């Protein structure tokens, strides 16, 4: 497999070939995922919870993200590397430009991901104008956990239209991909059909162009209760490499996510 690019991902959407994504935080796991054919490696600010042991993602710093992105870059040669911008690192367009530039220049990221809707449109336009690929994250926003009142499904009822409108606006502003987290499968399918950029789902049903899970969730090693939208691939796979290959195959073949992983 040749190295993944923004253009490759967009072509995958056009052909209908499913795209696979997992979070990863170090070189060793990055090499395993890369070898198994995972298309996108997301250096997630979820590292605050699963690596650092924090209660939320909020304490994660830009320096943390640069460090872990650099490690992942060393371990991967083919997969596309996307990095989260941590809480308050993109409060203004200029903050976002400075910190996204660092994630790409110092960390080796090929795309940055931002959580939020319409208030981020000018930021997305600014980053796009400076040749920084952007993934917009809509639905459940872990960095807004205190405002949302918990990790709750978003986009039910009248709230669905607002998320749909935000997705279209993000694409128009220049976003190269969209993550939908914990939204009803019907809404995710509608958005996936409406936009020309890849839609990456997590707890958003099987009709998205791509699927992402937190690596530690799909290996069944995250402490506490596993999210409804995840699945323990290690239990059936027997070892880590087999588990990752099973995840890739399940997404590509349409076996994951099932109805039991959706809302």
* Rounded CA separation 51/85 (Å): 17
Query: In this structure, are residues 26 and 71 in contact, taking their beta carbons and an 8 Å threshold?
Result: yes
Structure tokens at 251: 């997404």
Structure tokens at 128: 């796009």
* Rounded CA separation 197/180 (Å): 13
Query: In this structure, are residues 140 and 181 in contact, taking their beta carbons and an 8 Å threshold?
Result: yes
Instruction: Verify whether residue 181 is a known catalytic residue.
Output: yes
* Rounded CA separation 25/184 (Å): 29
Tell me if residue 65 falls in helix, strand or coil: helix
Set 35, 63, 122, 181: catalytic member: 181
What residues are labeled active site?
Answer: 181
């Amino acid at each position: 497999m040749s190295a993944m690019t923004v253009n490759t991902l967009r072509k995958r959407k056009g052909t209908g070939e499913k795209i696979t994504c997992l979070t990863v935080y170090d070189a060793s796991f990055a090499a395993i995922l890369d070898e198994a054919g995972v298309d996108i490696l997301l250096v997630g600010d979820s590292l605050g919870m699963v690596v650092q042991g924090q209660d939320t993602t909020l304490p994660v710093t830009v320096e943390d993200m640069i460090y872990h992105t650099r490690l992942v870059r060393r371990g991967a040669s083919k997969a596309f590397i996307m990095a989260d911008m941590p809480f308050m690192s993109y409060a203004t367009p200029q903050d976002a430009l400075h910190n996204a530039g660092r994630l790409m220049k110092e960390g080796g990221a090929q795309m940055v991901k931002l959580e939020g809707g319409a208030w981020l449109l000018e930021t997305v336009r600014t980053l796009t104008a400076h040749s920084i690929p952007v993934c917009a994250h809509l639905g459940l926003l872990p960095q807004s956990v205190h405002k949302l009142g918990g990790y709750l499904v978003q986009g039910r009822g009248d709230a669905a239209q607002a998320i749909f409108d935000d997705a279209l606006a993000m694409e128009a502003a220049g976003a190269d991909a969209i993550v939908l987290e914990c939204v009803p499968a019907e809404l995710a399918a509608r958005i996936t059909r409406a936009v020309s950029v890849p839609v990456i789902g997590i707890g958003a049903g099987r009709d998205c162009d791509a699927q992402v899970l937190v690596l530690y969730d799909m290996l069944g090693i995250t402490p506490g209760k596993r999210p409804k939208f995840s699945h323990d691939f290690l239990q059936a796979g027997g070892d880590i490499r087999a588990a990752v290959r099973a995840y890739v195959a399940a997404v590509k073949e349409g076996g994951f996510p099932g109805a039991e992983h959706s809302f």
